[in-house]
Amino acid sequence: MCGITGFISSKWSAEDLRKMTRRLQHRGPDAEGFYSNSSQEIHLGHRRLSILDLSEAANQPFFSKDKRYVMVFNGEVFNYKEIAQKHHIVTETTSDTEVIIELFSLKGPQAFQEFNGMFAIAIWDTVDEKLTLVRDRFGIKPLCYYDGPDGFAFASEIKALLKLPIPRRINTEALADYLFLEYIPKPNTIFQNIKKLSNGCYIEVTNKVHVTIKTFYDIREKYNPVKIKEKDAVEEFHQLLSSAVKSRMISDVPIGAFLSGGVDSSLVVAKFQENSKTSVETFTIGFDEKRYDESGYAKRVAEILKTNHQEYRLPTTDIFSVLKDAVEFYDEPFAVSSVLPSLLISKVTRQHTTVALTGDGGDELFMGYNTYYWYNRVDKLKRIGGKASLKLAESILLMLGGKPAIKSRLFDGWNDKHPFLNMWSQEQQMFTQHEVGKLLNYTYKHATTIPYWESLEKISLTNEQAVSFFDINYYLADDLMYKMDIASMRHGLEVRCPFLDYHLAEFAINLPVELKINNGTQKYILKKALERYLPVQLIYRTKWGFAAPSEEWLKSSHTYLIDNYLSEKYIETQGIFNFKEIKSLIENFRAGNYFHSKRIWSLVIFQLWFEQYMKPEKN
């Protein structure tokens, strides 16, 4: 895993490239490399985290044998040995890098179809003077770019692009989407003129400024449902997950795994241990607040699977120091409080291993979230009783207070053309579209993800299947993968996701829904598979999720964040938000309506990000 940078420009210099690349030193602490061709106005930079072939021969930028192509690459292609054998590629290194560029030399962009892994790649064609950028199928590895009058630039992280003399202007639509969804969906970023390359896509840049975006993979096109018996499906799942884990065990450095004690990570660790000759190193994070702490389950799973397990805690006293770290390295506002334990678990894991396996992807592929349950429930209520029944249910839940009051907001916007997006927003306890508009003083109507959702409506899908596709394309790629990539690479840790092996993912989307949700049991097939390794009482328990106690922090130990960053003076000076709305929100929260905590947290996070990235004295 690494950090990549580059640009095509006559106005930026080799020194600019060095500044960009060195801003990503945390992603690649082991080596640094540059390629510049002033006559072609192309510059490429690379920071290396050595995983396969630790020798200098595998350093980048890397040239094809015929010297026509030069490449910088972030990630891993796990089937590189099979590719080399299939295409008779004779290699001089034991790195996947060499196989990638030689296959591209043979097949061009068609090569991307054969890569099984996680990758963000930049390849310069010295003959045709064409730059090709590509991002993996599920967005595991990030890639962003700037396209402006002064040149075209790309990088693994936005913060590297900001080392160039480009304008920093907030994208209002992206800010509104953030307040609605908790993250900023592709292709936008918080900055105008900086975009995310969508997963499964590649860009070709020719004639210095002509940019063409093309798709090489779309999981919707892989939808071809099959009938399969439960026993056969469980057995095929075992084979696919085992294969995915084994291919991701390949490493020339120490490797371990995250273990939360939940279904997904337990399955990955079980397969890892099953295929390992020694005890697997596993790591978990705990909290002082008991209702958020699952570390006890992780310990029991580790004992049964006989892993070498290590547990760490995030003490309340350490929160602000980790929060400061998060604000520096997450270069967009990002309201997911679990970034803090993600940063900490990555830090402590890196002290023992350089690579870690994770269970990310299981919930999206096998329908593990509450939204699958609530979407159908509310839709059924509307069909039976119409708008009146929704209004009555909302009023009853609100009157009950506490957790039921949180669920009352799920009914907001159900009469919209695309009610699921409102439900998803409120399941995350973010602002409604109307509330976002009042905060920002304009009429906000979410539009960024609508074309994708409308494309799903044209396919014969159940509600659950449509939500699953949406989660795979947006929540997984733009939220969860962003969270884990930044957290892990902050500490030079490579994280691998066996569930996102594309063979396993395509198997999952084509399974009958009843093998994912069966009589109310979500991720049914995963739980049946896990029965091979764990007792049922550990498997069929209430799902907690990987959350952090931000509500508790804002109520007590870190309430000063509200006072410091959401004060009238700060808000009025900043000139972005409507203070009247923020004041009302804070008063409600401090009056005991703690279900507003996530909304307040999202505002505090934006303000901390603003301090870090938009204040002149910080840059």
- 143, 197 contact by CB (below 8 A): yes
What's CA 159's distance to the chain center, in Å? Answer: 17
Angle formed at CA 320 by CA 314 and CA 326, multiple of 5 degrees: 85
The set of residues, in sequence order, having a beta carbon less than 8 Å from that of 394 and lying 6+ positions away, is 408, 411, 412
Q: 227: exposed, middle or buried (C-beta count within 10 Å: 0-12, 13-18, 19+)?
A: exposed
Q: Which two tokens stand for residue 300?
A: 């029991």
- 486, 329 contact by CB (below 8 A): yes
As a whole number of angstroms, the distance between CA 383 and CA 376 comes to 11
As a whole number of angstroms, the distance between CA 358 and CA 151 comes to 38
As a whole number of angstroms, the distance between CA 566 and CA 589 comes to 13
Q: Does an H or E element contain 313, and which? A: strand 308-314
As a whole number of angstroms, the distance between CA 4 and CA 162 comes to 14
3-state secondary structure at position 414: coil
What's CA 614's distance to the chain center, in Å? Answer: 24
As a whole number of angstroms, the distance between CA 400 and CA 5 comes to 53
Catalytic site includes residue 2: yes
Q: Does an H or E element contain 135, and which? A: strand 130-135
What's CA 522's distance to the chain center, in Å? Answer: 22
Angle formed at CA 51 by CA 47 and CA 56, multiple of 5 degrees: 60
Q: Which string of b and e fits 465-503 if b means at least 16 CB within 10 Å?
A: bbbbbbbbbbbbbbbbbbbbbbbbbbbbbbbbbbbbbbe
- 256, 350 contact by CB (below 8 A): no
Beta bridge partners of 285: 312
As a whole number of angstroms, the distance between CA 60 and CA 93 comes to 12
3-state secondary structure at position 157: coil
The DSSP result for 62-111, as a single string, is EE-TTSSEEEEEEEEETTHHHHHHHTT---SSSSHHHHHHHHHHHHGGGG
Q: Does an H or E element contain 120, and which? A: strand 117-125
Q: Considering the candidates 2, 144, 201, 497, report the single residue annotated as catalytic.
A: 2
- 400, 423 contact by CB (below 8 A): no
CA-to-CA dists, residue 426 to 325, 367, 399, 410, 599, angstroms: 28, 18, 18, 5, 10
Beta bridge partners of 146: 153, 194
Return the beta strands (E) in 142-241 as ranges: 144-148, 151-155, 194-196, 201-206, 210-215
3-state secondary structure at position 191: strand
Place of tokens 């996701």: 497
> What amino acid is encoded at 409 in this protein?
R
3-state secondary structure at position 240: helix
- 131, 109 contact by CB (below 8 A): no
Place of tokens 């069929």: 540
Catalytic residues: 2
